[in-house]
């Protein structure tokens, strides 16, 4: 649905180009009370809930497919960010994670629209 699309590969490349954002954190940066993985899980969950709410016509199987895809996305993010997942997230990282998760949502929106238009 999403993880096998070219757009997803570009998003992972976008993440890897911005890995420096997750390295060499100084004490002068504004640190929040959440870890990087907690922030990713929260933001990704919010965006996927939005996808499902905006697409009430999705049946049970389609929603399950979305959940499986989100699990794959989360697994990929955990792989790429493995060394820093338990670090406290900075405000700048939080903004990047929010943006990234919105882009993931856009991929799902596009996939749903495409599947509706081809039926």
DSSP per-residue letters across the chain: --TTSHHHHHHHHHHHHTGGGGSS--TTS-EEEEEHHHHHHHHHHHHHHHHHHH-TT--HHHHHHHHHHHHHHHHHHHHHTTTTTTSEEEHHHHHHHHHHHHHHHHHHHHHHHHHHHT-
Tell me the pLDDT of the chain (119 aa) as tens digits: 899 999 999 999 999 999 999 987 766 667 788 999 999 999 999 999 999 999 999 999 999 999 999 999 999 999 999 999 999 999 999 999 999 999 999 999 999 998 876 65
pLDDT score for 27: 63
pLDDT score for 119: 54
pLDDT score for 118: 65
pLDDT score for 104: 97
Q: Is 93 exposed, middle or buried (0-12, 13-18, 19+ CB in 10 A)?
A: buried
Q: Given CA atoms 81, 36, 17, 100 in this order, what sign does their dihedral have? A: positive
């Amino acid at each position: 649905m999403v993880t096998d699309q070219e757009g997803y590969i570009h998003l992972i490349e976008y993440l890897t180009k911005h890995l420096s954002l997750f390295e060499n954190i100084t004490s002068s940066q504004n640190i929040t009370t959440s870890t990087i993985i907690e922030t990713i899980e929260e933001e990704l969950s919010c965006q996927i809930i939005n996808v499902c709410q905006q697409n009430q016509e999705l049946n049970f199987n389609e929603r399950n497919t979305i959940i499986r895809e989100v699990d794959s996305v989360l697994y990929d993010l955990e792989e790429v960010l493995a060394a820093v997942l338990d670090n406290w997230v900075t405000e700048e990282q939080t903004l990047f994670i929010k943006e990234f998760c919105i882009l993931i949502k856009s991929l799902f929106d596009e996939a749903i629209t495409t599947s509706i238009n081809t039926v």
